[in-house]
Amino acid sequence: MNTNQYIGLTGRMGSGKGEVVKILETLGYRYISLSDIVREEIAKLGREVSREETQDIGNRLRREGGAGVLGKRVREKIQTLPHPPWIIDGIRNPAEIDELKKLPGFSLIAVDADMDIILKRIKERKRTTDLLADEELLKRLRREWGTGEPEDGQQVGKCVKMADFTLANNSDLDSLKNNLFSILKNIEQKHFENPHLRKGKNHE
């Protein structure tokens, strides 16, 4: 039985979380992101918004519903859906981690890369919201990390420190896969040695 039931992802934009998701999906993981909740809110506005506005909307939801609200909504949603394993992306606040830890077998992986590599990847993906000068991109990366943000805002830096595992992504896809598979093996071993972890902090 696969005990890696719920794997959360955190890390800077451009670090390679999307590639990790693709790999996990080939292993049978279903995908959901806390950003889905933000996008649902954006849809209500009936227009496209910039990345900065998206960050603002996410912060507003946390401010109004509590810092962990996005994690809570995703947790409640997937608990009504078919059995895991699940990959949960878009974790940007420690309170979201606290909510997701209530899921049985939850582990958090932080995906990271050197800043010059991150900037290069962001530019190469050529999203409309990413076609900016380096200084503007760095400003948004610093904000995402937590610089100038309230406690209930984006705090990716703190989330990375809370991660169970850090996945370095400074090389090619094969290296990323090998590093990820090593982490999955460690998670499996951790749960094998500590069966109570499968029950979660508070499986509601």
Q: How far is CA 85 from CA 4, 26, 63, 183, in A?
A: 7, 12, 30, 15
Alpha helices in 27-68 (DSSP H): 35-45, 51-65
Q: Which tokens sit at 69?
A: 């609200």
Total residues found in the chain within this entry: 204
**d(Cα 15, Cα 141) in Å, to the nearest integer?**
11
Indicate the helix (H) or strand (E) that contains 88. strand 86-89
pLDDT of the residue at 203 = 39
- pLDDT tens-digit readout, 2-52: 555 899 999 999 999 999 999 999 999 999 999 888 888 888 888 777 777
Report the Cα–Cα distance between both ends of the chain, in Å, rounded. Answer: 22
Domains of the chain: 6-177 (3.40.50.300)
Q: Model confidence at 56, in pLDDT bands (50, 70, 90)?
A: confident
Contacts of 92 (CB under 8 A, 6+ apart): 10, 34, 58, 144, 154, 155, 156, 159
Lowest mean pLDDT segment, chosen from 55-59, 153-157, 164-168, 191-195: 191-195
Determine the average pLDDT of the residues in 170-187: 95
User: What tens digit of pLDDT does each residue of 62-120 get?
Assistant: 999 999 999 999 999 999 987 779 999 999 999 999 999 999 889 999 999 999 999 99
Q: Of 156, 148, 36, whose CA–CA distance to 93 is shortest?
A: 156
pLDDT tens digits, one per residue of 113-151: 999 999 999 988 866 555 578 888 999 999 999 999 999
pLDDT of residue 129: 59
How far, CA to CA in Å, does 179 sit from each of 142, 159, 172?
A: 26, 20, 11
Query: Would you say residue 202 has pLDDT above 50?
Result: no
Q: Give the pLDDT confidence score for residue 5 in this predicted structure.
A: 86
- The pTM of this model reads 0.87
Dump the DSSP string for 93-115.
Answer: SHHHHHHHTTSTTEEEEEEE--H
